[in-house]
Structures are given as C-alpha cells and as structure tokens.
Amino acid sequence: MNAPRNWGVRIAGTGSAVPERRMTNADFTAILDTSDEWILQRTGISERRIADPNAESTFNLSRDALQRALDAAGMKGSELDLVIVGTLTSEMPCPSTAVRVAAAVGAVPAGAFDISAACCGFVYAMNVAETMVRSGRAKAVGVIGAETLSRVTDYTDRTCSILFGDGAGAAVLVRDEDPALGCIHQSMQADGSRWESLYLPVLPRDVPESDLQSTVRLGCLRMNGREVFKFAVTKFREVIEESLAATRLSANDLSQVICHQSNIRIIEAARERIGLDPEKVYVNIDRYGNTSAASVGICLDELTRAGKLTPGLPFMMVAFGGGLTWASSVWSTRGA
C-alpha cells in the first residue's frame, strides 16, 4: 500500500444483481392474512426478488454485482486491492463473503472483509472505502451491499415478511488526481441501546424481555414496525439536513438523494419535509422491496446506467437500519 496523500476518488463503475424469482403481493395472500392493497398502500411494494436457495446466495449475487461494476469500469479484478461487502446475511461467519467474492473476481491477494451495519451496510462500506482510497492506502476498492434476507425471514410474520427482498449492488472506487472529487461529507452513527427494535436472534437468550410474550422464530428477523417507522421518518430528515448543512448545499443543488428503500411512506415523509423535488429521490422499492444493505447500491447502479446522476452535480446516499444505525455520504462528481 502506498504512502498517504490526499487523492480524489471516483466511482469508476457500478453493477447490481437480483434473483430471477419474483414474489408478488398476490403470492403473500396465499400464505398470509394480507392483501395487495394493504401492502402497496402501507409500503409501496408490489414485488420483491427471492433467491433460489439451491442456486443463488449472498456470495454469488455479490460476485455478479461486482463483476458487472468491474466490466462497467473496464477493469479487471486483479486491479482491486480491497473488497468490502456490507451484509447481514453472509452465508458463514467464517470466511467472510468478501474473501470469496475477491477470489471469484480474480482479486487475490486483495484485502477483503464484511461490514455488519444492517441496512446501512453499503453506505458504511462506501465511506470506509472512500477514506482508504483518499488516504492513498488503497488504489481501487470493490464495494458491495448484498443480502439474501429471504433466508432470515419468518414467512408467518405478516408485518415483517412482506417488506424484504434479496439482491446486491456494487461500485468500484478508484483514485483520481483531482482531490475535489469524491466524498465531501460522510457520517456513520449508531445507537445500540435501541437494538430491540430490529434484531435477529440466534439463541433463546438473545430474545429481549420486551419480546418474551411474542412468538419469536430463532434465526429470523424481528421488528417493531411502528418504532422503526417513527425512528426512520425523523432520522432520514435529520441526516439529510445535517449533511446539507455540513456541505453548505441546498437540497436542490443535488442531482439525487439516494435513500435506503425501506418504505415509500418513510421516503416520501422525508422528501416532503425537506422540500425535495420528487424526481431527485429515486424509488425502486415497488420492484425489489427492502433489500437492506443492497438497496442503496442497487439504486446507485440503476441511476448510473440510466444517466440520471448529472455529471458535475453532487449526490447524496442516506440509510438507516438495525442497530440502530444511520449514515450518509455526499459525493462530488466530475462535470461532463
């Protein structure tokens, strides 16, 4: 690794991968007491992608997303010196998903590790990767947010199960001679005293007292939907406003605010309070549901491929999730 110097950082390419299988709201009505109208109105979700447990995994979705990002960048895996995967659904605690992805794209002996920050995984990973490239400690980093939440979803819990989907989003970050390029503001925060709002118990002892009266399925996500909703509506607005104040930008100076796709009502509430134009807040939750750490990465890839990130204008990524965690990342980009 090279001596520290203040480099600029550029997103050289993005990619994403989602499972083949679509699970529609109508599919849920066959297994749960729910309806298409309820799900659509309360969440904005029409369908989500669900991994085939025999053929699709966090590992291979991550690998495919990163390979597409490398292809878009015109780079080889061997040019990466670090791979970071944000996920809460790594197949195994050891090895990490990142080491297998790095090997699969030909990046050995790049450093590789997973970040566990729930739905903030991609934004946390982008912030860490950007800092590594900016400081000169890394030349090129593959960043991935990926989940197979279907593996940890209790399909008898109608509040939780209808929300989640599987997928992966990736970006390749490279150094640039212009230090003005890259992340101009980042935040990564957490409040672990509120973990009971959204957690994934492994052993009976993990179940908090507040949940002892409920039916809890070990190995599956548990969520207090109303608590998370209240937290998210306030936090989204606060994080966006803090990031705007820190960068002295106004909301409409940004080409996009890329929000974690948690619930359309949460995104809309923040958008309206801040006064952002609807076309500046990308939404794909209708097609993918909440893909946790993957959601911001998938949005970033779709926006990039659709040419919706205006060259020369900054954009913001913002997320919140289990932990509770929240994070933002504001990027400046090169003009056309």
Q: Which residues contact ligand COA by CB under 6 A?
A: 34, 38-39, 42-43, 119, 158-159, 162-163, 198, 223, 225-226, 228-229, 232, 262-263, 290, 321
Nearest to 288 by CA among 8, 4, 18: 18
Nearer to ligand COA, 18 or 233 (CB): 233
Contact 314, 300 (CB under 8 A): no
Report, in Å, the least distance between residue 295 CB and ligand COA. 9
CA distance 112 to 102: 7
Q: Which two tokens stand for residue 190?
A: 């957490």
Q: Give me the least distance between CB of 260 and ligand COA, in Å please.
A: 6
**3-state secondary structure (DSSP) of residue 15:** strand
Catalytic (active-site) positions: 119, 260, 290
Give which of 191, 193, 146, 176 is closest to 301, Cα–Cα: 146
In angstroms, what is the minimal distance from the CB of 35 to ligand COA? 6
- The kind and range of the H/E element at 264 are helix 264-274
* Positive or negative torsion for Cα 38, 42, 44, 47: negative
Query: Tokens 């990736």 label which residue?
Result: 170
**43 or 96: whose CB is closer to ligand COA?**
43
Looking at beta carbons only, is 158 or 217 nearer to ligand COA?
A: 158
**What's the distance, Cα to Cα, between the start and end of the chain in Å?**
31
Cβ proximity to ligand COA, 228 vs 276, nearer residue: 228
Helix (H, G, I), strand (E, B) or coil at 181: coil
Least distance from ligand COA to the Cβ atom of residue 104, Å: 28
